[in-house]
């Protein structure tokens, strides 16, 4: 049996038996999009397929350095960090090409009360609201990432300074680079095919050692899984080649930031329009249907309120500065890459919006949730977008209400106060995720930077 043919619990059991596996790997994703998991014995796996299993909920209550939040209500020392129920998703079965013996990977997600703050569960709730409104959502994620000729040990020995990029100079879309290093490129492409996140396009971007990968479109639930798996296993592949990949939003002040763009479209679920694009209307300007305009308006109006879901780290805000291919206001344009939202006119099949604001460090489940939920809310409210931006958005004045928060703390406060966020994601998620971003900001405030030492140590 092929892993892609696994759909049910019975299928999952069958493929494990066929491969005579004694163990399988099971993984899930935390607030920051970090994949966590373990090897599980076959008997335990079979039992968990039927009734779920327990996973310590501390993984929903700590940061990327395993430091415990002190401000979260859902879990903490006050709850004793109990186990939370988790369910395995049979249809998520993947081949693990790096491990001998036909090893398989299955994704899992938190269940019951924990599902209210689980990133994958959050996306599922948004998609369910879309379905109730009569829409199926489709998405394609794109990621830029830098490769370095370094190892986890060497970057720490160097104190993260004077790192050697995989390739030198600024050579975007370079045939020289992807031919000289074609072995690595083919490994990346093959990984995407084997693990079912097929890559539609792969090329060098502007900057030393930076690549961009565009993952093929799929229904939005699968697109979230594919984005999260791509980021995880791109890092694995790089390290197995004695390289390192980073998805930091901006690792150096000297180079452009790294984006995580999201292409989105809706299709009707039922009636005589079933399967047809909800965004395409050939009789309207730019082929934009009324529904696409409402969707776009929701994305635009709620971008400042939902920003911490798509720009979730302190480093995200280093990227959101003028002139570096990252917008600072919630703007839109047609085929305009200086705006936050890019309308891409096309056929009934290809008409879509591109949510360009997102950075590569975002949790794919949450960034996709924010981009989709804001659009759906716009349809609910029948909002209309602001005027289309023509020309260089960076050089134009924009209404103050379209300005984006400039710090993670400010973004978390806007999110926490958002009525739309609570409607689309639920109070439990909003409170927990906002608290986790506040924690991240407070951890940063404890840090004494090289800039401060150089600026103040002697002279003040």
Tell me, yes or no, if the two domains 3-116 and 127-451 fold the same way.
no
pLDDT of residue 327: 79
314's tokens: 């302190």
**What confidence tier does 256 reach under pLDDT thresholds 50, 70, 90?**
confident
Give dist(CA 206, CA 162) in Å, integer: 19
pLDDT of residue 397: 86
- Per-residue pLDDT for 129 more than 80? yes
Q: Are 27 and 108 in contact (CB under 8 A)?
A: yes
pLDDT tens for each residue of 290-310: 999 999 999 999 999 999 999
Q: Which fold has domain 3-116?
A: Ubiquitin-like (UB roll) (3.10.20)
CB contact set of 232 (below 8 Å; sequence gap of 6+): 35
- Per-residue pLDDT for 328 more than 90? no
Helix (H) or strand (E) holding 54: strand 53-56
- Per-residue pLDDT for 326 more than 90? no
**CATH class, 127-451 region:** alpha beta
pLDDT tens for each residue of 133-177: 999 999 999 999 999 999 999 999 999 999 999 999 999 999 999
pTM of the model: 0.96
> Distance of alpha carbon 12 from its chain centroid, rounded?
27
pLDDT of residue 370: 98
pLDDT of residue 253: 87
pLDDT of residue 390: 94
Domain ranges for the chain: 3-116, 127-451
| DSSP codes, 312-371 | -STTHHHH-STTSS--SB--EEES-TTSSEEEE---TTT-EEEE---BTTS-HHHHHHHH
Give dist(CA 298, CA 124) in Å, integer: 19
Average pLDDT, the chain: 96
In this prediction, what percent of the chain has a pLDDT beyond 90?
93
């Amino acid at each position: 049996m092929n892993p892609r043919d696994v759909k049910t619990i019975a299928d999952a059991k069958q493929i494990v038996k066929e491969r005579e596996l004694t163990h399988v790997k099971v993984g899930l994703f935390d607030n920051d999009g970090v994949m966590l998991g373990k090897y599980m014995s076959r008997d335990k796996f079979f039992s968990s397929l039927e009734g779920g299993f327990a996973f310590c909920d501390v993984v929903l209550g700590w940061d990327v350095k395993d430091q415990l939040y002190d401000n979260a209500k859902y879990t903490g020392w006050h709850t004793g960090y109990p186990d939370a129920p988790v369910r395995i998703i049979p249809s998520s079965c993947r081949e693990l090409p790096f491990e001998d013996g036909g090893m398989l990977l299955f994704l899992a997600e938190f269940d019951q009360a924990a599902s209210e703050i689980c990133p994958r569960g959050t996306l599922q709730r948004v998609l369910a609201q879309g379905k109730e409104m009569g829409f199926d959502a489709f998405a394609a994620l794109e990621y830029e990432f830098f490769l370095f000729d370094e190892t986890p040990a060497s970057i720490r020995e160097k104190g993260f300074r004077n790192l050697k990029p995989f390739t030198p100079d600024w050579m975007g879309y370079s045939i020289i680079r992807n031919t000289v290093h074609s072995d690595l490129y083919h490994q990346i492409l093959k990984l995407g095919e084997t693990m079912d996140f097929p890559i539609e396009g792969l090329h060098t971007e502007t900057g030393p050692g930076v690549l961009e990968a565009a993952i093929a479109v799929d229904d939005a639930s699968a697109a979230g899984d594919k984005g999260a798996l791509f980021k995880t296993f791109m890092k694995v592949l790089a390290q197995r080649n004695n390289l390192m990949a980073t998805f930091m939003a901006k690792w150096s002040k000297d180079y452009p930031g790294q984006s995580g763009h999201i292409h989105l479209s809706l299709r009707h679920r039922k009636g005589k329009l079933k399967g047809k694009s909800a965004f395409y209307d050939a009789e309207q300007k730019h082929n934009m249907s009324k529904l696409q305009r409402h969707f776009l308006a929701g994305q635009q109006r709620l971008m400042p309120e939902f920003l911490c879901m798509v720009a979730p780290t302190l480093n995200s805000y280093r990227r959101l500065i003028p002139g570096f291919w990252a917008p600072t206001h919630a703007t839109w344009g047609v085929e305009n890459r200086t705006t936050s939202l890019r309308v891409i006119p096309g056929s009934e099949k290809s008409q879509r919006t591109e949510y360009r604001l997102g950075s590569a460090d975002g949790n794919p489940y949450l960034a996709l949730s924010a981009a989709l939920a804001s659009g759906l809310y716009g349809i609910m409210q029948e909002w209309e977008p602001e005027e289309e931006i023509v020309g260089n958005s960076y050089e134009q004045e924009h209404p103050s209400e379209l300005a984006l928060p400039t710090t993670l703390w400010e973004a978390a406060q806007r999110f926490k106060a958002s009525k739309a966020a609570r409607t689309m994601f639920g109070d439990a998620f909003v409170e927990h995720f906002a608290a986790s971003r506040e924690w991240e900001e407070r951890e940063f405030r404890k840090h004494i930077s090289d800039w401060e030492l150089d600026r103040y140590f002697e002279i003040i």
